[in-house]
Amino acid sequence: MATADITQLLQQARQGQRGATDKLMLIVYDQLKRLAESYLKSEKSGHTLAATALVHEAYLRLAGSEVDWKDRVHFFAVAARQMRHILVDHAKARHRIKRGSGGEKIPVSDVTLAYEERPLDVIAVDEALARLAEFDPRKSQIVELLYFGGLTLDETAEAIGASVATVQRELKIAKAWLHTQLKGNTGGS
């Protein structure tokens, strides 16, 4: 469906027209699911949060919000932020469980060490993006829109009111800064 149709449905939903939100969800569901799947790729196998559950939780939060939807880009930016928060909340809950709140106790003599590919630490990424936002909110927003929102460079430029060249330049700087922040902090969450 065309971007204009999504924007129209968002406006209808904002005006309280019956069924507009449900029609919208049917249209954007596949794209939201692809976004969720891309987020979860960096997680360990056996991750307890499925892409479908992530999309449904984000939808519940979006449906219950009082957002004044502007257009498709705005919708996916807000959806991206919701998914990011859900992933971070889930990672923090898992982290608490791993640190002894209800887990099975295993004697040290029974532990076998093995090499395991280290997944992206969602909490560390979230904290780094929050630090970046403190001194450069636009760079943080660019990263969020591109990586969590799944927007293109053109859509991101439109969303922040800048040129594509500016977005590319600021993204390069943001990526370098985030890499420095996250270096050595890629352990599992």
Name the token pair of 167.
Answer: 């977005």
Contact in structure between 89 and 126 (CB atoms under 8 Å): no
Label residue 184 left, alpha or beta by phi (over 0 means left) and psi (-120 to 50 means alpha).
left
Pinpoint the residues of the chain covered by CATH 1.10.1740. 3-98
Pinpoint the residues of the chain covered by CATH 1.10.10.10. 118-182
Alpha carbon 36 to chain centroid, angstroms: 8
Q: What is the CATH number of domain 3-98?
A: 1.10.1740
Give dist(CA 71, CA 14) in Å, integer.
Answer: 11
> CATH topology for 118-182?
Arc Repressor Mutant, subunit A (1.10.10)
Give dist(CA 186, CA 189) in Å, integer.
Answer: 9
pLDDT tens sequence for the chain (189 residues) = 556 678 888 888 778 788 887 888 888 888 888 878 877 776 655 566 788 888 888 888 877 677 777 788 888 888 888 888 888 888 777 766 555 544 444 444 444 433 344 455 777 888 888 899 999 999 998 988 887 777 888 988 888 889 999 999 999 999 988 888 888 654 444
Global pTM value: 0.61
